[in-house]
Structure 1
């Protein structure tokens, strides 16, 4: 059995012989020397340093480890490969919260890091539904709409994006209702579940396609958030819609120039088959709107433009309602996650014009052109009920292509805690 290393926090400077190091060692213990102004970032980076030195098992010890400090350490310490162990400290309530967070994060991380061959759309939906059913028991019911049945219910976006694959697209409709049959829906969640994104006929280069198993990160994030909220005693009705498909090239795949006629009457010209996420989310947002939920949250690894705007340590958020943005900021701050609001104005709905349809799904230029993340949000806005409050989360921080100073390679689960907090509000 691997001996655990004790990890402690201290405000004391390292001894002179350690130079500028902020992690020092004394026998079987490591000390993280705080004091650079952003303690949580420093703790997460220290955890990465320990893992990079081959440390696999740690005990967090001492009085200075509060809830967010321990979670920051965990975010830096975990890796896609198994073989690590992290032992919490603190009172029973703190440890229970951390275990609940880790259970949800493990589930999301396992889905996002899974190989695309092993996670077709049907399996993604089934695993999400079964996990939530195990957590929520009789309060959870669901159905999975598959393949041609999507067209029967006019979910044309999911069907179009997924029809090029031999493995059919699906929509998961899940209802968590601990209150009784006639209880109103309080929140609806929508997740992008593209289990692999080749770009379709707007084919990605190999380096851009390599990690596209992460393109179902939105589905994993909202599922894990709902599961965490259930674990923490959520007592309101929530509906979950996962829009799941493989975006592949074949004789049956959708094509540039196709026009999709959505259930709400909006027509969309396809000018970029690699802007497929918004096409499937359009279905999910209409289903969420039809549920009557006064608050709709969608999450998606939607645009490279969001990554360019906010980097890989923030998730971009959008809403036409400033109060919704303020609430998201407050909830993210409470759990030490980072969000940043990008512009969304009514005219963003019209930033992808088409000569043949009400709108196009992008602009026919590389990367969708300037303001691509806001233009994508404007497209989605067309499919949200006017009376609903709506938050769109573009998950710029959901996945790391390679290991860095803060994260190991793979899924980060950044965003799960924020959405779970929003559900509890």
Structure 2
């Protein structure tokens, strides 16, 4: 192993700072000079600076490191290539929490950064189920429905989106139940698992397609969140639904003008095959509704419109219930993640009209037109049972195409902690 660098956090100003990261060096170690107005952001930037200097192994030392500041350092320090170690500091509870966060985050990061060739829809479903079963043991049961069987069971959205690929689409239905056979489902998690998104016949550009191995970030995020909660001692029943498919072009692919009839009777005209995430999530939301969950949370890398609205520093959140939005915001703040609510009103359901079906899956203009993120959320709302509390997370902050001052290129896993906290509530 390379030499380990000691890193101390301080509130003292530096005599000379290392760029804008407030980083200085003394002897065999480094000092991070925490910013008063943006303390965690300055820590994360300093970690990126260290890693960019070729530092791979660090020992965090000193009394100012708490769990959130150490996690900010971790998020800035990790890269898709790995090859790093961080020795945490703190009491036993803090060390255990950080180790759990890192383990679950690294699992999600590996899934998201995996090549699309190596991660087919069925393989994603199997990998998630196997990892959770390893953590939950006999408390975990699951089934995977794939290929033509999806159509037989009326999971029409996943089937339509995935039928263009030679590799079958799949729905993972997983039940974590530590509370007995008759226990109600406290929470249902639904994740978008598009293992590669070409855009279908609404074909993306090469630049827009390059990062689309990450379009299963929602599936990885909810899986990792559930895994973290299980290891924290989650004692209530949770169901997980991963909606997995490849969105490819072929003679079997779904086409513009197709109409999909869903299990709840809703008909949808396809006006953009690149608005496929909402089509697969609709099946997962219906399954969650059938489970009579007390709360439904879905997570998806759903719209570019959300990124334009909140940037990649926030995840956009939507819900018809103000209490759900407040809970999500409180839980995100407690773990130093960032969410921002965007509008969702009943009239948003009418913003994607169709002359041939109950609704279209988007609007036939670039990016879905004005209010695209809200319109997508309202589409999903059609498939959530009446009066069921529901949170939709548009993961604008889940992936970075290029390295920046806060993140290395690739998966960030930003959102995992928020969902895990909501599960533990």
Matched, 1:126 2:122: no
Runs of at least 4 residues off by over 2 Å: 16-21
Q: Are the aligned partners of 1:43 and 1:72 in contact in 2 as well (CA < 8 Å)? A: yes
Q: Residues 365 and 25 from structure 1, CA distance in 2 versus in 1: closer, same or farther, beyond 3 angstroms?
A: same
State the match for 1:274 in structure 2: 274
What is the aligned length? 425
1:144 deviates by 0.2
1-10 vs 388-397, which deviates more?
1-10
CA distance 1:131–1:18, change in 2 (3 Å): closer
What are the within-5 Å matches in structure 2 for residues 82-93 of structure 1? 82-93=82-93
SS in 1 for 2:246: strand
Aligned to 2:227: 227
TM-superposed CA distance for 1:128, in Å, is: 0.1
Q: Which residue number corresponds to residue 70 of structure 1?
A: 70
- Per the alignment, residue 364 of structure 1 pairs with 364
Alignment of 1:379-398 (within 5 A): 379-398=379-398
Cα distance in structure 2, aligned partners of 1:340 and 1:19? 30
Residue of structure 2 equivalent to 1:172: 172
Give the match for residue 49 of structure 1: 49
Change (3 A) 1:18 1:312: closer
The CA distance in 1 between the partners of 2:150 and 2:271, in whole Å, is 23
Looking at structure 2, the residues matched to 56 and 16 of structure 1 have their Cα atoms a distance apart, in angstroms, of 23
Structure 1 spans left out of the alignment, 5+ residues: none
The normalised TM-score by structure 1 is 0.99
Q: CA RMSD in A?
A: 1.0
Match for residue 291 of structure 2? 291
- Find the aligned partners of 2:211 and 2:292 in 1 and give their Cα distance: 36
Query: Which residue number corresponds to residue 354 of structure 1?
Result: 354
* Change beyond 3 A, Cα 1:252–1:96: same
Distance in 2 separating the partners of 1:402 and 1:19: 20
Aligned to 2:250: 250
Instruction: Describe the SS at the equivalent of 1:323.
Output: helix
In 1: Cα distance, 2:18 partner to 2:245 partner: 52
Structure 1 residues 21 and 382: CA distance shift in structure 2, 3 A = closer
CA displacement, residues 206-232 of structure 1 (integer Å, 9 cap, x when unaligned): 000001000000000000000000000
CA distance in 1 between partners of 2:13 and 2:19 (Å): 10
1:380 deviates by 0.3
Cα 1:55–1:259 change in 2 (3 A) is: same
Structure 1 partner of 2:112: 112
Q: 1:20 to 1:270 in 2, by over 3 A?
A: closer
The reply to whether residue 238 of structure 1 matches residue 238 of structure 2 is yes
Write out per-residue CA displacement over residues 76-97 of structure 1, whole angstroms, 9 at most, x where no aligned residue.
0000002111110000100000
The 3-state SS of whatever aligns with 2:306 is helix
Contact residue 349 and residue 379 of structure 2 kept, 8 A: yes
Shift of 1:17: 8.3
Could you tell me whether the CA contact under 8 Å between 1:36 and 1:42 is conserved in 2? no
Contact 2:17 2:23 in 1 (8 A): no
C-alpha contact (below 8 Å) 1:294/1:387 kept by paired residues = no
Cross-structure match for 1:94:
94
Structure-2-length-normalised TM-score: 0.99
- The superposition leaves residues 39-89 of structure 1 with CA deviations (integer Å, 9 ceiling, x where unpaired) of 000000000000011100000001110000000000000000021111100
Q: Matches of 1:38 and 1:94 in 2, distance apart?
A: 22
Distance, in Å, in 1 between the alignment partners of 2:19 and 2:216 is 44
Task: Please say if residues 105 and 416 of structure 1, whose CA atoms lie closer than 8 Å, have aligned partners that are also in contact.
Answer: yes
**Aligned-pair CA distance for 1:387:** 2.1
Distance between the aligned counterparts of 2:169 and 2:149, measured in 1?
A: 10
Cα distance in 1, alignment partners of residues 149 and 17 from structure 2: 69
Gaps of 5+ in 2: none
